[in-house]
Structure 1
């Protein structure tokens, strides 16, 4: 919008009017505005009316002074006549200028109104565009919030599943530790049982050797006393036969224990077939 940047104050308007009148011209509204470089036409019209009313008083004050020399008095009279003529003509010119100024102001106001309408239309378009963008932003925000809720739910479900998996893993680790402890216990039991069986086998072997030596001694004694103790020899032979059967039985048991030992070594985790199996007692 256009603006009247120059302020038409009373003193500026009077000085401009005096300067225009001294140049022999009529101080109209447009002439004063042109000399001031702008200003409100209404303000200039009001100040020019006040200037014209004061102009007559200024000339009357000049007439009340001591008489001037004739040439100077004639000059003042001519100047007064010109001022009156300009003042009379100025009224008409002032009215025309005022109408022109009013028309110019109206045209300016109309241009400003049209410009305001264009600006308002542009602002309305901008507002509509901004509202559209705001609606899109709101929809995007709603979609983002829904997506956030979905992701939050998925995260919570994943956390719950992770907790379940962690608990299951801990249970498996505990089960594995228990299984390892049981296997270690079984291994220790198997080693102890193996050592016991080996000691028993050694004892059986030693007993067999002792029996064989006893049988040998008995045979020797029997041979020496065969003639004298025939009945005793028969009994010794029976005992020898019994000892031999016992030795054969012990040898069979030793072989069975060795076979069982090999089976246990081949499958150390099989508890159902080997764990704490009762060892037969000696007869």
Structure 2
């Protein structure tokens, strides 16, 4: 049985059971017996059941005993009251069913209002979560951009350091070539001078030239030291 649409047979069976047990046959009693069901559907089926199964009360027989002829007026009044009792009972039952339907409608409206309030709260929560997700997405994009810029900066620093290392290697090679060339030139000049002016003059010139070469070497060493300090500074910034 579906929760909101009980069949006529189910309503009729529940109503007959209540009637056979001497219990009042109302919408609420039938719904309790079924365990569930729409009050409107139960009321419609119950009205059909009453039409088919609850006959109107039989009027009292009109056999008036001879001794009661004098009381005919009282009997007729009582007969009229008894004849209308069935209709009054049906009217009272219908009013009771309508009251039950009204109470069920109020309960359904209260449930609807509660569900609407829950839906509004859920919608507000969804909107709040959407705002938080959007804010986190913006923060994530900014963090990625900062990380990308940092990587680019480190790559540039590494390229600068590599360039300085190559320059330092080139300077060392130039220094070694210069020293070797100067030594060769000095040796050649020394030999020529020793042949021309003698060993003493050649020795003095060699000493002077050697002093100049030492000065040049010290200058190159100073340049190398400065380059090394610059490279160390780049590495420190990169770290």
Q: Please state which band the TM-score falls in when normalised by the shorter chain.
A: 0.5 to 0.7
Shift of 1:103: 1.2
- Alpha-carbon deviation of 1:102? 1.7
Q: Does structure 2 retain, via aligned residues, the 8 Å contact 1:41–1:98?
A: no
TM-score where L is the length of structure 2: 0.58
Per-residue deviation, 1:163: 3.3
CA shift, 1:145, in A, is 3.6
Q: CA separation in 2, counterparts of 1:156 and 1:56?
A: 93
Aligned to 2:233: none
Counterpart of 2:19 in structure 1 is 21
Instruction: Measure the CA separation in 2 of the matches of 1:24 and 1:103.
Output: 25
Aligned counterparts, 1:68-217, within 5 A? 91-123=90-122, 125-127=124-126, 129-130=128-129, 132-134=131-133, 137-138=134-135, 141-142=137-138, 145-146=141-142, 148-149=144-145, 152-153=148-149, 155-156=151-152, 159-160=155-156, 162-194=158-190, 196=191, 200=195
Taking structure 1 as reference, are residues 86 and 9 closer, same or farther at Cα in structure 2, changes over 3 Å only? farther
Between Structure 1 and Structure 2, how many residues are aligned?
A: 188
**Distance across 1 between alignment mates of 2:42 and 2:85:** 17
Superposed CA deviations along residues 210-235 of structure 1, whole A, max 9, x for unmatched, are xxxxxxxxxxxxxxxxxxxxxxxxxx
Equivalent in 26, 33, 36 of residue 35 of structure 1: 33
Q: What runs of 5+ residues in structure 1 fail to find an aligned partner? A: 58-84, 202-249, 272-283
Moved over 6 A (4+): none
Name structure 2 gaps, 5 residues minimum: 56-83, 217-239
Q: Deviations over 1:168-216 (max 9, x none)?
A: 542342233122112112223434554x369849xxxxxxxxxxxxxxx
Question: Could you tell me which residue of structure 2 aligns to residue 259 of structure 1?
Answer: 204
Work out the CA distance in 2 between the residues paired with 1:144 and 1:24.
Answer: 74
Q: CA RMSD in A?
A: 4.0
Structure label with greater radius of gyration: 1
Aligned to 2:74: none
Structure 1 distance, partners of 2:16, 2:85, is: 12
